[in-house]
Amino acid sequence: MRIAMWSGPRNLSTAMMYAFGNRGDCAVVDEPFYAAYLAMTGLTHPMQAEILESQPQDAKAVAKTLLGPVPAARPYFYQKHMTQHMIAGVPRDWMREVTNVFLIRHPARVIASYAAKRENPTLDDIGFRQQAELFELCQSWGQVPVVVDSHDIREDPGAKLAQLCDAIGLPPSPKMLSWPKGGHPDDGVWAPVWYGAVWNSTGFAGAEGPLPHVPDDLRPVLDAALPYYEAMKAQKI
């Protein structure tokens, strides 16, 4: 089974990769289209040169690897994807051959977390529009993609992960509830910039508190993202 997990940034996505990676029967890959995305857009991101050197910059070549041999011949292959990487020119047909899951988070939380790492995020930076479009694409193929809210996972990791596994036909495992401190061998080269909190963790953080304040200059981004989030939230397990 190949599991493509689709989220925007700052959305529990790395912790989820660690959870699946700790199962022992699941290979993982971390944002395989990142270098291709940077090469195609010309955007400037932290550790840009290192990212471009660490991954193939040909999106079509990346897509082939996602359907190719699973690393270490594991029975399951968890693919952590960022929806904002799926720009025009990045193949999508390969998504027909995988189990697509959509990981959502309230945009106020995403914007506050992202802005602390990279200033002035735009709607395209945080991936809500692209996530909704990819979800609708999967539906157009006759798929029934699963949607899971990171808020629910943090509130009750054991129950929600078991529900997620059941929804995609994966045997649940208690090993998903914890992982070794210090990162994962398959972390992307960009991990030192973005993964500090999860590197220091050994499991999911506790339930989230009230929504954070979003500054006035980022309110338009929040207002634009909310309808996409609410539409996806209505589909969650």
Q: What average pLDDT does range 19-33 have in this prediction?
A: 97
119 CB-near residues (< 8 Å, 6+ apart): none
pLDDT of residue 114: 82
Query: If you search the block for the tokens 């890959």, which residue do you land on?
Result: 29
Percent of the chain at pLDDT above 90? 91
90: domain range?
2-233
**Rounded CA gap, 96 and 67, in Å?**
10
Number of domain units in the chain: 1
Task: Give the start-end residues of each E strand in the chain.
Answer: 2-7, 26-30, 76-82, 99-104, 146-149
What is the average pLDDT score of the chain?
A: 95
Residue 170 C-beta-side C-alpha neighbours within 13 Å: 26
The pLDDT of residue 71 is 95
Q: What is the average pLDDT across 100-104?
A: 98
pLDDT of 118 > 70? The answer is no
Contact 122, 226 (CB under 8 A): no
Residues 95-100: what's their mean pLDDT? 98
In the predicted structure, residue 172 carries a pLDDT above the cut 80: yes
Report the pLDDT averaged over residues 1-18: 95
Among 89, 83, 90, CA closest to 126 = 83
In the chain, pLDDT over 70 holds for what percent of residues? 99
pLDDT at 120: 79
Q: What's the Cα-to-Cα distance from 107 to each of 58, 171, 195, 200, rounded to whole Å?
A: 30, 31, 19, 24
Distance CA 219, CA 213 (A): 10
Q: Are 22 and 178 in contact (CB under 8 A)?
A: yes
Q: pLDDT for 33-85, tens place per residue? A: 999 999 999 999 999 999 999 999 999 999 999 999 999 999 999 999 999 99
Bridge partners (DSSP) of residue 102 are 6, 147
Contact 27, 74 (CB under 8 A): yes
Tell me, what's the pLDDT at 115? 77
**Could you report the per-residue pLDDT of 204-213, keeping only the tens digit for each?**
999 999 999 9
Rounded Cα gap, residues 21 and 147, in angstroms = 20
Residue 113: per-residue pLDDT: 84
As a residue count, the chain comes to 237
For residue 128, which phi and psi values (nearest 5 degrees)? -70, -45
The domain that contains 35 carries what CATH number?
3.40.50.300
Please state the φ and ψ torsions of residue 100, each to the nearest 5 degrees: -95, 130
Tens digit of pLDDT for each residue in 178-206?
999 999 999 999 999 989 999 999 999 99
Q: How far apart are CA 169 and CA 42, in angstroms?
A: 39
C-alpha to C-alpha distance for 106 and 111, rounded to whole angstroms: 9
